């Protein structure tokens, strides 16, 4: 597998370019090391509504029950930003569960000021997790290579400069070519310009994260696609200050691509069945439905009606079609039944 492709003209593969642009080479460089954090540039489900953290807290409680209410329960927040989700989940837990919960935030930047002392801040997940490992919009920022079909129908590595200008490099080979053949089917007659994002580094990262769970549940949440509906020209894009922009790997913007969660699911299998579902389905199962409050409440308790109406609006955003509701959830139980399987 090619980890980095460079030449004297500054050309390199998208994986190396994205790694440098997002995470830098030291503590002061890289888009994700900026003081404003991810929330300064894009809005995730965590930032959209506290209902999301409440749903994750309920999921953690279900994992707790499946584990037999252990004396110590782990909650691991992967790609924790500035600790927004882990802080809100702890606040939403019942007191008895919160008292037994060990909270971990995993992030590349240093510990933010004001974070609760009980939250451990780590560059990598702990190696012995009994509980819930939750990765919200982590895998889409794991850098990967991009391939494009040339005029002869050959899939070649896409090289890029720091200014975002691209050219084609060598034909794909080895593990990357094998991944493409297995997970990104193209028509037999390849059309020039077709693109694919080689998700092998995401598979490896996810398998490593799942490998940290001794017993419990690992969940990945991301915009995703499946092998029967891969986007023909890929999804690589950038975000800056809340707006989508060209993916330029100079550290000025986020660089992201949707995730082949089906490939990640197979990579993370550990003797139990992984399951893929939409965020809409997952949140509905966790009590976030978006149902409007009864109109009669407006006359009996106007303040409660306004609060319930606002909550319904937030729930609707989290579960909306063509929006956050279309996020994929990958659930991988380890040694417990699937906590969202109503048949269990």
Highest mean pLDDT, choosing among 224-238, 285-299, 312-326: 224-238
**Could you tell me which residue, 43 or 4, shows the higher pLDDT?**
43
Give the pLDDT confidence score for residue 3 in this predicted structure.
44
If we measure between CA atoms, which residue out of 234, 233, 253 comes closest to residue 243? 253
Give the pLDDT confidence score for residue 255 in this predicted structure.
95
Give the pLDDT confidence score for residue 291 in this predicted structure.
67
- Whether residue 111 is predicted with pLDDT greater than 60 in this model: the reply is yes
Structure tokens at 83: 């600790």
**Could you tell me which residue, 79 or 307, shows the higher pLDDT?**
79
Tokens 């300064």 belong to 40
Give the pLDDT confidence score for residue 243 in this predicted structure.
87
**Could you tell me which residue, 63 or 296, shows the higher pLDDT?**
63
pLDDT level of residue 27 (50, 70, 90 thresholds): low
- Whether residue 342 is predicted with pLDDT greater than 80 in this model: the reply is no
**Could you tell me which residue, 319 or 251, shows the higher pLDDT?**
251
**Could you tell me which residue, 118 or 287, shows the higher pLDDT?**
118
Structure tokens at 14: 């998208």
The per-residue pLDDT for range 216-273, each reduced to its tens digit, is 999 999 999 999 999 999 999 999 887 899 999 999 899 999 999 999 999 988 656 8
For the segment 35-55, the average pLDDT, to the nearest whole number, is 71
Q: Is the pTM of this model over 0.85?
A: yes
> 3-class DSSP state for residue 61?
helix
- Whether residue 54 is predicted with pLDDT greater than 80 in this model: the reply is yes
Query: Cα torsion at 332, 260, 283, 36 (round to 10°)?
Result: 110
**Could you tell me which residue, 204 or 296, shows the higher pLDDT?**
204
Of all residues in the chain, what percent carry a pLDDT higher than 70?
Answer: 84
- Whether residue 41 is predicted with pLDDT greater than 80 in this model: the reply is no
**Could you tell me which residue, 341 or 330, shows the higher pLDDT?**
330
pLDDT level of residue 121 (50, 70, 90 thresholds): very high
Contact 220, 266 (CB under 8 A): no
For the segment 26-35, the average pLDDT, to the nearest whole number, is 73
d(CA 310, CA 292): 9
Give the pLDDT confidence score for residue 25 in this predicted structure.
67
Structure tokens at 28: 């002061």
pLDDT level of residue 12 (50, 70, 90 thresholds): very high
Contact 13, 4 (CB under 8 A): yes
- Whether residue 285 is predicted with pLDDT greater than 90 in this model: the reply is yes
**Could you tell me which residue, 97 or 299, shows the higher pLDDT?**
97
Give the pLDDT confidence score for residue 79 in this predicted structure.
94
The per-residue pLDDT for range 172-202, each reduced to its tens digit, is 999 999 999 999 998 877 899 999 999 999 9
Give the pLDDT confidence score for residue 5 in this predicted structure.
46
If we measure between CA atoms, which residue out of 230, 232, 231, 238 comes closest to residue 256? 238
Mean of pLDDT over the chain: 88
**Could you tell me which residue, 41 or 200, shows the higher pLDDT?**
200
């Amino acid at each position: 597998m090619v980890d980095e492709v460079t030449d004297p003209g500054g050309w390199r593969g998208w994986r190396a370019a994205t790694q440098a642009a997002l995470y830098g080479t030291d503590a002061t460089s890289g888009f994700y090391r900026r003081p404003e954090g991810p929330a300064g540039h894009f809005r995730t489900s965590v930032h959209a509504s506290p209902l999301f953290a409440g749903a994750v807290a309920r999921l953690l409680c279900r994992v707790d029950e499946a584990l037999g209410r252990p004396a110590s329960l782990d909650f691991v927040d992967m790609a924790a930003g500035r600790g927004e989700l882990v802080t809100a989940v702890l606040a939403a837990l019942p007191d008895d569960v919160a008292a037994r919960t060990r909270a971990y935030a995993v992030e590349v930047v240093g510990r933010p000021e004001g974070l609760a002392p009980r939250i451990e801040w780590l560059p990598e997940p702990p190696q012995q997790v009994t509980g819930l490992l939750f990765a919200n919009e982590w895998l889409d920022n794991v850098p990967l290579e991009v391939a494009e079909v040339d005029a002869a129908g050959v899939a070649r590595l896409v090289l890029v400069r720091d200014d975002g200008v691209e050219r084609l490099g060598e034909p794909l080979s080895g593990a990357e070519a094998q991944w493409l053949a297995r997970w990104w089917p193209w028509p037999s007659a390849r059309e020039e310009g077709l693109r694919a994002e080689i998700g092998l580094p995401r598979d490896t990262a996810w398998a490593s994260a799942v490998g940290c769970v001794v017993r419990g549940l690992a969940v990945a949440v991301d915009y995703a696609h499946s092998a029967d509906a891969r986007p023909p020209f890929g999804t690589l894009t950038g975000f800056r200050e809340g707006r989508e922009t060209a993916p330029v790997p100079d550290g000025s913007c986020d660089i992201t691509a949707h995730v082949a969660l089906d490939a990640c699911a197979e990579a993370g299998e550990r003797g139990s069945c992984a399951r893929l579902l939409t965020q809409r389905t997952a949140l509905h199962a966790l009590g976030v439905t978006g149902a409007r409050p009864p109109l009669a409440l407006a006359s009996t308790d106007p303040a409660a009606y306004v609060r319930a109406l606002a909550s319904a609006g937030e729930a609707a955003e989290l579960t909306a079609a063509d929006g956050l509701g279309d996020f994929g959830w990958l659930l991988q139980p380890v040694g417990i039944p699937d906590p969202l399987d109503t048949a269990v």
